Amino acid sequence: MTSTQATPYKSHAFDPDDSGEFLPARALGSLALGALLFVSGPARAEDSYRWLQATADGWQARAITQSDACPAAELDGRAVPMTPRARPGEHFAITVCAATIPKGTRSLTIAGAPLPAPPARVDKVLVLGDTGCRLNGIFLQDCNSSDAWPFRKIAETAARLAPDLVIHVGDYHYRETPCLPGMSGCAGSPHGDNWETWKADFFAPGDALLRAAPWALVRGNHEICRRAGQGWTRALSPLPLGETPLCVDREQAYRVDIADPTLFILDTTEAEERTVVGAQLPFLRSQLAIAKDAPGPVWYAFHKPIFSLFRSRIGETLGINETLAAAAHNGIPTAVQAILSGHLHAFEALSFRDDRPAQFVIGVGGTTMDPHIPANFDGATIGEATVERGRGVATTFGFATFERGDGEWLVTDYDAEAKPRLRCHMRGRQLDCE
């Protein structure tokens, strides 16, 4: 794994979503002259989380603890040491621990508690993304309401489905600025790139699902270095760390250690949507070509979709990521069957008249939803692509599953209570939706 640049953590007071003008959220109340400051305290003794995730070096068990010592791990009844990945530092009064888990491990425990072992076969994949609670200037979500921000409910519901693998398509951290005074819906919320915010936005509400299945984690644009890069780097990044955790602006693509499908995780966080940025193209082309020698079918998971459909409040139809589309032009290997993304806060499933991978957008995990999503956009033109089958589900929090069938994958979009909202059959690169 290499990167082009390493950036030390630097806090920031306010940095609006780089696609915020196209992501409507509910503005609560009137602007106040002052801001409510939240002072995050040290981690409490009960702050303890564990999970199994794919990394560039294979499967890895990770744990978060308040203690300086890492918890004990056992693989098939044999003690294996966990070592510190990131020790306590400014804004992060926790230790992040890690241990390599070989493929073929049958049983795994951390501190005596079981975790799922690396999957021998993947028949049910659960996908979700954009799970955090939005606090950004005047755009405030009711983080204290399980209906307005249902990520915990979604995680607990999804855990009961016992997936073989969970793919998070990015954007875990959304609490960037303080809750405004007098706003009860988010009163008391932490904010900023620190442990209390990461715990509130992801680890505490997602705990049941973290313990239920192995994870493959995609970096979102909220996890870039100047936003929430420190928490991402310490806890979730697939990269190994040195003595000082440094956030890198670009993370190389890597293959998840499963077969059929062959799954690659890509970093597309920098891809500019509104215009082609030539300086970004070489890196993005190298990412998109990663599967050129891989056995098919191949799935790519990266945060920003190449093609999607979204109608803004002023009636402008949007969807293409101009830089990604330029990088992908004649550059995606034919073995790639599907692309899994988030970024747009809706569910979309698209297949195309020309020979392109099916595109799925599954940014429905809890962040304020995008309402202007068409239910049917067969025949729509998005940049150079023409949609053969296009389906969308708006304003419905939830997740999606991909279940293996006879020569196909059955893709189901569920709401937060696991009620199906849309089903599509994926055969090769083509979709047939009910």
Report yes or no: 362 and 352 within 8 Å, Cβ to Cβ.
Answer: no
Sort strands 108-110 and 73-75 into parallel, antiparallel or unpaired: antiparallel
**Residue after which a domain boundary falls, among 66, 94, 115:** 115
Per the domain annotation, does 29 fall within a domain?
no
Per residue in 271-304, pLDDT (tens digit) is 999 999 999 999 999 999 999 999 989 999 999 9
Mean pLDDT of the chain: 89
Residues 290, 150 share a domain: yes
Q: Which two tokens stand for residue 151?
A: 């990520």
Residues 293, 405 share a domain: yes
Report how many domains make up the chain: 2
pLDDT at 37: 31
Residues 163, 232 share a domain: yes
Residues 63, 188 share a domain: no
Percent of the chain having pLDDT more than 70?
Answer: 88
Residues 82, 159 share a domain: no
Report yes or no: 98 and 57 within 8 Å, Cβ to Cβ.
Answer: no
Give Dmax over CA atoms of the chain in angstroms. 61
* 22 has pLDDT over 70: no
Strand partners, 347: 362, 393
Percent of the chain having pLDDT more than 90?
Answer: 84
Domain residue limits at 304: 120-433
Residues 426, 364 share a domain: yes
Rg (C-alpha) for the chain, rounded Å, is 20
- Mean pLDDT over 376-405 rounds to 95
Residues 324, 260 share a domain: yes
Per the domain annotation, does 13 fall within a domain?
no
* 40 has pLDDT over 60: no
Q: Is 211 left (phi over 0), alpha (psi -120 to 50) or beta?
A: alpha
Q: Which of 74, 63, 65 is nearest to 45 (CA)?
A: 65
Q: What is the pTM assigned to this prediction?
A: 0.90
Instruction: At 288, give phi and psi (nearest 5°).
Output: -70, -20
Sort strands 254-255 and 262-265 into parallel, antiparallel or unpaired: antiparallel
Q: Which two tokens stand for residue 382?
A: 């998005």
Q: Which two tokens stand for residue 327?
A: 């990088």
Report yes or no: 287 and 300 within 8 Å, Cβ to Cβ.
Answer: no
Residues 268, 132 share a domain: yes
Instruction: At 421, give phi and psi (nearest 5°).
Output: -110, -25
**Residue after which a domain boundary falls, among 66, 95, 115:** 115
Per the domain annotation, does 37 fall within a domain?
no
Per the domain annotation, does 105 fall within a domain?
yes
Per the domain annotation, does 353 fall within a domain?
yes
DSSP alpha helix (H) spans, 204-355: 207-212, 229-231, 281-288, 322-328
Q: What angle do CA 115, 218, 61 make, to 5 degrees?
A: 25
Residues 189, 319 share a domain: yes
Strand partners, 298: 262, 336
Residues 70, 168 share a domain: no
Give the DSSP H or E segment for 404.
Answer: strand 398-404
Residues 254, 153 share a domain: yes
**Residue after which a domain boundary falls, among 67, 87, 115:** 115
Per the domain annotation, does 39 fall within a domain?
no
* 36 has pLDDT over 70: no
Per the domain annotation, does 28 fall within a domain?
no
- Mean pLDDT over 43-68 rounds to 88
CATH number at residue 370: 3.60.21.10
Per residue in 161-204, pLDDT (tens digit) is 999 999 999 999 999 999 999 999 999 999 999 999 999 999 99
The count of C-alpha atoms lying within 13 angstroms of the C-alpha of 175, restricted to the half-sphere facing its C-beta, is 31
* 315 has pLDDT over 70: no
Q: What are the residues whose beta carbons fall under 8 Å from the beta carbon of 402, sequence distance 6 or more?
A: 124, 125, 126, 127, 409, 410, 411, 426
Per the domain annotation, does 40 fall within a domain?
no
Residues 288, 317 share a domain: yes
